[in-house]
Amino acid sequence: MSTSSPIDRQARRAPHVAIIMDGNGRWAARRGLPRTEGHTEGEENLARVVRAAVTRDIGWLTVFGFSTENWVRPRAEVRHILGLHEKLFSRIAELNENNVRIRWIGRPFDSPEARTPKYVQRAIRRALHETESNTGMVLTVAFDYGGRAELMAAVRGTRRAGSAITAAAIDQHLYLPDLPPVDLMIRTSGEHRVSNFLLWQSAGAKIHFTDTPWPDFDATELDAALALLA
Ligand code: FPP
């Protein structure tokens, strides 16, 4: 296919980078630590990568924090990851210092299948509100997110609106209709799968796989991935 397809043409703006942050558990196991320590380090690393991303030409950074499939993990691990999301969405001063607007993508809180607990909802709402006037990079955190669930919701929304099922109509009924197409998808820790992340939005994305586990993914790794867009 030529590089001037409509999807590619839309991409001529500060790029949208999406990251599947895999490998926290293996990072911890290699050090003889509990998996939860790997997730804690993963959250710290996300804060570092956000700082690196704002100094590069990245307009949109979307990260997979917790999927619709992740709820089956052991309860203690799920609780720990929920706490880390509360922590991440509470980094408001840091986001404001970096002019970063934080957003969330996932199953709407009022939908019957949604599972986001109230305390995480509160942290999300507050962070969205308190960073909404920032004009720099947009950081979108996917929580209780699945690409197939999003697509089904978009088709239902399109039908409810009485519109024909066209690509433009589905675009308008995605969870975040203004989220631009993904230019670069990164997955850490050696797995070569897309795992139900941003299925619609990443139709034209380049994909960078690295063996590095997420807690060790640094600015040098980010630059290596961004080289794919050069
Ligand atoms: C993958 O590691 C990571 C997750 C399923 C959760 C993502 C969570 C973080 C990166 C930490 C917190 C981040 C936020 C956004 C608050 P894994 O457990 O699948 O690792 P493994 O494949 O080595 O077992």
- CB-based contacts of 218, cutoff 8 Å, min separation 6: 48, 49, 52
* Type and span of the H or E element at 87: helix 75-89
pLDDT for the residue 16: 98
pLDDT for the residue 12: 54
Q: What does 122-172 look like in DSSP terms, one character per residue?
A: HHHHHHHHHTTT--SPEEEEEEEE-HHHHHHHHHHHHHHTT----HHHHHH
| Ligand 1 binding residues, C-beta < 6 A | 21-26, 39, 42-43, 46, 63, 65-66, 70, 81, 84-85, 88, 141, 189, 214
Of 20, 21, 145, which is best to mutate to test ligand 1, by the most ligand atoms within 8 angstroms of its C-beta?
21
Q: What averages of pLDDT result for each successive group of 10 residues across the chain (230 residues)?
A: 44 86 98 98 98 96 97 97 98 98 98 95 98 97 98 97 97 98 98 97 98 98 97
- pTM of structure: 0.94
CA of 20 to the centre of ligand 1 (A): 9
Q: Which residues belong to the active site?
A: 22, 70
CA of 180 to the centre of ligand 1 (A): 24
Atom of ligand 1 nearest to the CA of 22: 1
Nearest protein Cα to ligand 1, atom 22: 23
